[in-house]
Each structure stands twice: as structure tokens, then as C-alpha cells.
């Protein structure tokens, strides 16, 4: 086992480790996280080999690069001593290789003469190969962690040093390929490419798997899953969002834009409570961003009061199969939609399949909506994207094999399931997040 340094992008800190752990599962690579702090973009991990390091990073979105750790220290002298003690057995491998040193400094910087002074401190390394600045055989990176605001404060030395041999870059440049600004067809609720790709990674999308989005919209999640090789399916209560404005400006057109049409299974109009999908366990993953019901209340297919509007029921029976038929919709509870997503996942996910969905909540602890639970699902990640007074969470579950589910917990859940459905008829009564949003999340007290 070898130690490596991963350099993360400076965004979405709570997503870093869950994505890294998911990639280790996908690549079947044993991973130990040795040292990590969200305040730093660096993470030290232990992996079997440099090849394993390349594999674990080749589809990462949150990471930028990975380096074989040669030494660490709080001072340059301590770093040099660490390099001598830790990496000496590796030196003969690179005696005749061309090489160069580069700096990667966080929250600080050095002048060129200062950089040269640090590089010259490694003259003890027995490298006889030429120094080449363009495409050398080996790149050695000096990673420095400087204190906050170090440049204007005139700080001369970083708090910590690492020396690493560069192994590989990540797939972060894929974010630009799928940038919504370049996509032919989007809507106001299309998930941005970075978060969609991260979601697909955490949900373990990979070749040979089939994934489903029950709130597909313009297809952000199926596109991300298809990029990683999964066959993708989707549905939406509004078929117009799927069809778009023509062949190119449609969900299918988006798949064509990225030349991944072969990985689109199919899309259809339905909602999660009125779905034609058979309740058999065949999905490898379910990824979605359910509607929050802020601009308008949440709705599902159905008649609010069949006795008062029998003509709506009769019309559906007579004309439901016609092309231009628009089915009626009824108000839906926010808490019920979360529970229904979990039940649907339990009934259709394979063993160890994953459900990843986004859920909004207030930031104030007394107004937060707790992540829903189910005895057949284990929460494996709870990532947070912060806004001003609210945030949204990417909650990821693993489908527990039936043989491992606690029977007593399952029976208690089934008996108390009705309690998750809120009483009320208006959009605000049925949606605690919507109520808080329009109150600007001010406490009732």
C-alpha cells in the first residue's frame, strides 16, 4: 500500500469524500483516508498502487490531480528529512528519467527566486536525467498550504509542505463539455453539469448498469449517467418537458448532441405515484431532483375530489388514451413525495443499488427537514450545497439486501407510514419547505 495526495477543486467540500469513496467502490479499489480536513483542498489516502490511483481518479469531478506522497513537513528542513526517510527506496527508479519541479500553493505564493531556492533544496535526490520543462518523464509537485490572507499580510513561509510525484489528472474538464450554456435544450430547473456528474458518480453509474430518473425534465441526470456508461431511463409528469420544441431542442436531442443516444433507454410521461413501471427489482440506480413546489404547489396525477367532479373521472375513462388528453392533477404533500421515492426505490432497486436525490431544507436547525428513512435503505452520504438561508442536500442511500433488513423495524415503519402524509389542502399546508421559503425561514417565535 502506498500513500497519495489528492488535490481537490475548491468547491462543494462536503461532496469530496463521498464521491471519492464511491469511485473506490466502482473501481473495486481498497481505499483508506489517512488525513483530510474540509478547510484544505488536500487529502492523503492509502491505495494499493499508482495504477489504482489512476483508476480512482479517471472519472472524478471533485478532484483535480493525484500525486504519490514522497514527504511532508511543517518546514522545508522537515520536508527534506521526510523525503529522505519515506521515499529513498523509490529513487533508483527515476535516476535517468527527465523531470521537473512545479509548485501548487494554496492561499499563498512565492517569487521565482524563492521557488528556485526551495527546488534547490532537493539536490540530494540522485537524479541524473535532464530537466525538461515540457512533457518530462516525471513531474514532482511541491504542494504548499499557506495561512489565510498570507500575501497581504506578508507571510514568508507556508504552514505545511508536501512533495508528491504526479500520477494523473482527473476528469474535471468534462464539466465544460456538459456545460448548460452549451446545451441545446434546458429549462429553469435543469441541474448544472458539475453537480449532475457528481451525483452520477456517487450513485455508482457505470457500464452495464441501468439508471432511472422519475423527474427527468430535460435530462441532466440521465445524460450524466450515460456519460459514465450507464443505460439511462426517465419519466416526468409533464411530457412537454421531455418532448421540447422539436428533434434537436428536446431531451433526445440533448443525448444526440453528446453522441450518447445509444445509452438512452426510453422516456415517458408519468409521475412516481402513477407509474407503469412494474414493482420488480431491476434498477441499479435511481437519481433525481424532485420538484420543491415553491413556485406552485406539488401535484400528482389524479382528481382531488372524485365525488364533486365525476365528469373529470368520466372524461379520463373515455379519452385517456387520446394523444391530446391532458390528465387532471391534485395537490401532493412534500413529505409524502419523499416517502414515495424511498418506497419506490425499495421496490425496484437491486441489492446494494443506490438512490440519490436532492432535497431542500432550511439552514436553521429548528426548521430543518430531516432526511427521510426506510428500514431497507442505508444512508451512505449526505452532501450539502449551501445558499443564503436554505440549502439543498444530495442524500444517497444503499438498498440493503432483504436478508439484512430488521424485521421489527420494517413492521414499525409500515404501521406508521401514514404519519408522513401531512394534513391539508393548500400548497403551504402540504409543503413545510414552501412555508418556510416565503416566510424567509423566520422562526414562528
Q: Is 147 left (phi over 0), alpha (psi -120 to 50) or beta?
A: beta
Contact in structure between 200 and 221 (CB atoms under 8 Å):
yes
**How many whole angstroms separate alpha carbon 331 and alpha carbon 271?**
13
278 to 175, 214, 250, 281, 347: CA distances (angstroms): 35, 14, 26, 9, 9
pLDDT at 410: 84
Q: What is the DSSP string of 289-330?
A: -----SSS--EEES-S-TTT-HHHHHHHHHHTTSTT----EE
166 to 34, 100, 108: CA distances (angstroms): 19, 11, 21
Burial of residue 391, with CB atoms counted within 10 A of its CB: 0-12 exposed, 13-18 middle, 19 or more buried: middle
End-to-end Cα separation, the chain, in angstroms = 56
pLDDT at 436: 75
> Alpha carbon 115 to chain centroid distance?
36
**Spans of the chain below 70 pLDDT:** 152, 154, 293-297, 305, 307-324, 417-431, 437-438, 443-445
Q: Which CATH class is domain 2-170?
A: alpha beta
Q: Which of 172, 220, 135, 122 lies closest to 7, judged by CA?
A: 172
pLDDT at 327: 75
Q: What is the DSSP string of 232-300?
A: EEEEES-HHHHHTTSSSSSHHHHHHHTT-GGGEEEEEE-BTTB--S-S-S-EEEEEE-----SSS--EE
Contact in structure between 60 and 171 (CB atoms under 8 Å):
yes
**How many whole angstroms separate alpha carbon 182 and alpha carbon 127?**
46
**How many whole angstroms separate alpha carbon 428 and alpha carbon 368?**
16
Pairing of strands 264-269, 231-236: parallel
Domain boundaries, the chain: 2-170, 175-298+333-443
Q: Is 385 left (phi over 0), alpha (psi -120 to 50) or beta?
A: beta
Q: Is 240 left (phi over 0), alpha (psi -120 to 50) or beta?
A: alpha
Fold assignment, 175-298+333-443: Rossmann fold (3.40.50)
CA torsion sign for 185, 190, 195, 201 is negative
CATH topology match: 2-170 vs 175-298+333-443: no
Tell me if residue 6 falls in helix, strand or coil.
strand
Amino acid at each position: 500500500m502506498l500513500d497519495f495526495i489528492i488535490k481537490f477543486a475548491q468547491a462543494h467540500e462536503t461532496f469530496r469524500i463521498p464521491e471519492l469513496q464511491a469511485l473506490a467502490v466502482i473501481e473495486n479499489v481498497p481505499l483508506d483516508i489517512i488525513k483530510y480536513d474540509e478547510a484544505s483542498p488536500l487529502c492523503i489516502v492509502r491505495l494499493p498502487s499508482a495504477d489504482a490511483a489512476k483508476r480512482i481518479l479517471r472519472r472524478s469531478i471533485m478532484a483535480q490531480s493525484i500525486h504519490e506522497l514522497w514527504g511532508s513537513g511543517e518546514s522545508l528542513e522537515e520536508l527534506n528529512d521526510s523525503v529522505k526517510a519515506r521515499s529513498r527506496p523509490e529513487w533508483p527508479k527515476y535516476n535517468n528519467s527527465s523531470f521537473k519541479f512545479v509548485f501548487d500553493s494554496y492561499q499563498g505564493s512565492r517569487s521565482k527566486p524563492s521557488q528556485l531556492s526551495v527546488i534547490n533544496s532537493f539536490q540530494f535526490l540522485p537524479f541524473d536525467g535532464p530537466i525538461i520543462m515540457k512533457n518530462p518523464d516525471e513531474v514532482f509537485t511541491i504542494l504548499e498550504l499557506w495561512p489565510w490572507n498570507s500575501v497581504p499580510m506578508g507571510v514568508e513561509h507556508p504552514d505545511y509542505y508536501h512533495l508528491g510525484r504526479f500520477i494523473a489528472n482527473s476528469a474535471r474538464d468534462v464539466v465544460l463539455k456538459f456545460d448548460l450554456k452549451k446545451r441545446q435544450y434546458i429549462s429553469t430547473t435543469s441541474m448544472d453539469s458539475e453537480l449532475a456528474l457528481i451525483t452520477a458518480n456517487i450513485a455508482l453509474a457505470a457500464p452495464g448498469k441501468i439508471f432511472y430518473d422519475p423527474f427527468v425534465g430535460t435530462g441532466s441526470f440521465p445524460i450524466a449517467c450515460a456519460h459514465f456508461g450507464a443505460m439511462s431511463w426517465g419519466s416526468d409528469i409533464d411530457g412537454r418537458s421531455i418532448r421540447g420544441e422539436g428533434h434537436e431542442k428536446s431531451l433526445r436531442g440533448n443525448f444526440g448532441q453528446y453522441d450518447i443516444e445509444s445509452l438512452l433507454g426510453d422516456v415517458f410521461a408519468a409521475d412516481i405515484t402513477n407509474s407503469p413501471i412494474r414493482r420488480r427489482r431491476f434498477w441499479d440506480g435511481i437519481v433525481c431532483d424532485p420538484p420543491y413546489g415553491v413556485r406552485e404547489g406539488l401535484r400528482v396525477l389524479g382528481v382531488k375530489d372524485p365525488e364533486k367532479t365525476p365528469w373529470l373521472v368520466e372524461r379520463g375513462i373515455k379519452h385517456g388514451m387520446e394523444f391530446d388528453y391532458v390528465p387532471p392533477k391534485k395537490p401532493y404533500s412534500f413529505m409524502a413525495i419523499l416517502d414515495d421515492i424511498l418506497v419506490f426505490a425499495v421496490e425496484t432497486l437491486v441489492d446494494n443499488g443506490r438512490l440519490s436525490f436532492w432535497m431542500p431544507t432550511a439552514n436553521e436547525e429548528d426548521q430543518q427537514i430531516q432526511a427521510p428513512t426506510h428500514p431497507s435503505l442505508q444512508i451512505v452520504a449526505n452532501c450539502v450545497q449551501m445558499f443564503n438561508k436554505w440549502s439543498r442536500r444530495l442524500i444517497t442511500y444503499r438498498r440493503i439486501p432483504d436478508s439484512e433488513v430488521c424485521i421489527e423495524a420494517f413492521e414499525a415503519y409500515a404501521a406508521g407510514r401514514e404519519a408522513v402524509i401531512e394534513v391539508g389542502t393548500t400548497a403551504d399546508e402540504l409543503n413545510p419547505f414552501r412555508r418556510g421559503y416565503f416566510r424567509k425561514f423566520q422562526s414562528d417565535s
